[in-house]
Amino acid sequence: AQKVTQAQTEISVVEKEDVTLDCVYETRDTTYYLFWYKQPPSGELVFLIRRNSFDEQNEISGRYSWNFQKSTSSFNFTITASQVVDSAVYFCALSEASGYSTLTFGKGTMLLVSP
Amino acid sequence: NAGVMQNPRHLVRRRGQEARLRCSPMKGHSHVYWYRQLPEEGLKFMVYLQKENIIDESGMPKERFSAEFPKEGPSILRIQQVVRGDSAAYFCASKTSADTQYFGPGTRLTVL
């Protein structure tokens, strides 16, 4: 069975601080995908990134970066120089690398960025 | 290219009524997933459909819930005889044969 753990329920930072959201996963699959989604206060779910299990290169996209470490089953997400608009709930998710691809989500981390 | 559309965005029903939630996938997407977000429980998979077929309904309650994705028209999630515990946000996601699911804005169901 697959499992995703986001141990941080809520994080509060002040604008311009860096913040890292942790994600630890469990799976028996040898190939799988990892995802991050953002849920702003308006409620929609916004896709941020997908990572293949065979690609451990870190990725940077603007102020966002992701650190995938297979050895520790972690896929952490860092926001550099946080902004108020980053305030949202962030979900880490896992799916097997097959056509089914149903997502197993963590419970989410609520990030509050204050001005 | 329009994103995933869901309607209604908000739905209020009294106990015992039926709720119908609609999802129009992104253009070119033939795979549809439904997820439910309950308070304190996070997002849970309910059902996975391709055109005219239910592929996996392992996350959907056996009673009162059904889903379809007809050849023409949107996917429908139907909840019969709603109860207060059905109050939640219901999200639809779609994808191509590739593996990234794109989500709609959700339908917030409130059962009075």
Chain B interface, mutation test: which of A34, A45, A48, most B Cβ atoms within 10 Å? Answer: A45
Q: Tell me whether residues B56 and A100 touch, CB distance under 8 A.
A: yes
pLDDT in tens, A13-35: 999 999 999 999 999 988 999 99
Residue of A nearest to B36 (CA): A105
Query: B44 to chain A nearest CA, in Å?
Result: 7
Query: A17 to chain B nearest CA, in Å?
Result: 27
Give the side-chain half-sphere CA count within 13 A for B103: 26
Residue A37 identity: Y
User: What local confidence, expressed as pLDDT, does residue B42 receive?
Assistant: 85
**How far is Cα B36 from Cα B91, in angstroms, rounded to an integer?**
6
Are B48 and B55 in contact, with CB atoms under 8 Å apart? yes
Query: What is the DSSP pairing of strand A32-39 with strand A88-96?
Result: antiparallel
Query: A105 to chain B nearest CA, in Å?
Result: 6
User: What local confidence, expressed as pLDDT, does residue A79 receive?
Assistant: 97
Q: Which of residues 72-111 of B touch A (CB under 8 A)?
A: 89, 91, 93, 95, 97, 99-106, 108
Q: CB B68: neighbour CB atoms within 10 A?
A: 16
User: What local confidence, expressed as pLDDT, does residue A99 receive?
Assistant: 65
**How far is Cα A75 from Cα A72, in angstroms, rounded to an integer?**
9
Q: Tell me whether residues B42 and A50 touch, CB distance under 8 A.
A: no
In 3-state terms, what secondary structure has residue B86? helix
Q: In tens digits, what is the pLDDT along chain B, a chain of 112 residues?
A: 579 999 999 999 999 999 999 999 998 888 999 999 998 788 999 999 998 899 999 999 999 999 999 988 999 999 999 999 999 999 999 988 777 899 999 999 999 9
**How far is Cα B81 from Cα B40, in angstroms, rounded to an integer?**
24
**How far is Cα B57 from Cα B36, in angstroms, rounded to an integer?**
13
Angle at the Cα of B28 from the Cα atoms of B27 and B29, rounded to 5 degrees: 95
Confidence of residue A49 (pLDDT cuts 50, 70, 90): very high
Q: Tell me whether residues B99 and A33 touch, CB distance under 8 A.
A: yes
Tell me which residue of B11, B2, B31, B3 sits closest to B78, measured CA to CA: B11
Task: For residue B8, say if its preceding peptide bond is cis, omega within 30 degrees of 0.
Answer: yes
Q: DSSP letters along B18-71, please?
A: -EEEEEEPPTT--EEEEEEEETTTEEEEEEEEETTEEEE-TTS-SSSEEEE--S
Q: Tell me whether residues B100 and A95 touch, CB distance under 8 A.
A: no
User: What local confidence, expressed as pLDDT, does residue B81 receive?
Assistant: 98
Query: B102 to chain A nearest CA, in Å?
Result: 7
pLDDT in tens, A72-108: 999 999 999 999 999 999 999 999 887 677 999 999 9
Tell me which residue of B2, B35, B106, B75 sits closest to A45, measured CA to CA: B106
pLDDT above 80 (res A60): yes
